[in-house]
A and B are shown apart, each in its own frame.
Chain A
């Protein structure tokens, strides 16, 4: 499942900027390291983050569903078609440097997926809005970010409603792949058109409610930002700087 999962883990209770900073740091470090062992550590850190947020079951499935096709492609591209020397793996002869490259690239994608799906699952969008409002972030940017974060769950719930309605009108979902493809039409068209129509009314409603007034919004319940969390975010920033300094100095992992 992609989207917020209510809970009371340390990540749920944290200031929204802290899990975001953690995920951002993991992303940047994942690109700073270039050995399978190092990237494996980043993946473990990302999975451990999901465990701390108690969202491993929710995050695991979409992360693997999104990562596995990429893994397959990388293994074929780099493992099968990569340069010598080669290693035998059962009946396959695979490129050793190609495999290492595939592990690094696949590991990066896996770590990034785990980290950001964990952020989506543990950062409540309304708390993020309040945190950003308290920092004086303009509403347009807040809306853009939060709409993006909540896009998948919103579209999924709308799609479920449309699917139910279309099934009541006789839409059949089973059958051969071409029949399934044909069934997509009655789902996708109302989904897209409905979303566009909704945007029109929502623009009017938001405008009427003052989002274009130019005033600085009043935060109503800003989440507390403890000194320890602020310090942690600074440490993460320094860690990223150190990782890139080591990489460019030729001491990267």
Chain B
């Protein structure tokens, strides 16, 4: 199967930065795979997610050298801090989750049906009528994950998505990532939680100083 994203010799430098955040990166992401990325803080994992999903350099500025090919048309992104990912324009969780498909102009009934389905998947359906600004960090993060799933992404990138979650919710989230991949998306997750990542990842990368130093089965890379 053709990879949904392919990077060859990819190097990315942020605007004004003296050195690249990523160097010489060769990466292929495929539908059905969950790829876990680990490494020390500052290793370039967040940048890798942004480059893979096409947000860098398009929205961040900077320079991407090397080749990047992408077939992804609906990338979804989830950061560690849910508060910064709220639209600020919705007064219910349902509206927040429905925001993405509504932005794509899908018919109202479809938008609401998708929102209800993904709220169930992310276990936030009981919060549907709550104001997102009144939720706890963990509840809010699950709403943000539901919002990303509502886009029905073909590529889902997540940056330490369980940082705000309790252990049970983190377990459920990682299980959900596998479901999303099995439904046909490529999933790329940067995480320090190697134990949970090892349970669901089909492949793992270890980054150090912007370079991939290990790429292989999770049992080897995350051990």
Contact = CB atoms under 8 A, between A and B. Distances in A.
A205 B79 contact: yes
A129 B59 contact: no
Interface of B: 50, 53, 55, 59-60, 75-77, 79, 81, 83-91, 95, 98-108, 111-112, 144, 147-148, 151
Interface in A153-179: 154
A124 B88 CA distance: 12
Given A126-B95, A220-B112, A207 B59 contact: yes
A201 B85 contact: yes
A38 interface: no
Contacts of B147: 209
12 contacts: A125-B89, A126-B89, A129-B89, A142-B89, A150-B88, A154-B88, A202-B85, A205-B84, A208-B75, A213-B105, A216-B105, A217-B102
Contacts, number: 91
Contact of A220 (B81, B95, B105, B151): B95
A129 B91 CA distance: 11
Contact of B108 (A147, A211, A215, A218): A218
Interface of A is mostly: helix
Contacts of A139: 103
Interface in A205-229: 205-211, 213, 215-221
The 9 closest A-B CB pairs, nearest first, are A215-B105, A210-B103, A209-B100, A201-B84, A126-B91, A205-B85, A218-B102, A208-B77, A210-B104
Given A204-B55, A218-B107, A221-B95, A147 B88 contact: yes
A217 B89 contact: no
Interface of A: 124-126, 129, 139, 142-143, 146-147, 150, 154, 197-198, 200-211, 213, 215-221
Contacts of B99: 209
A8 to B, nearest CB: 15
Given A203-B59, A218-B106, 9 more contacts: A146-B88, A146-B89, A201-B84, A201-B85, A202-B85, A205-B86, A206-B87, A208-B55, A210-B100
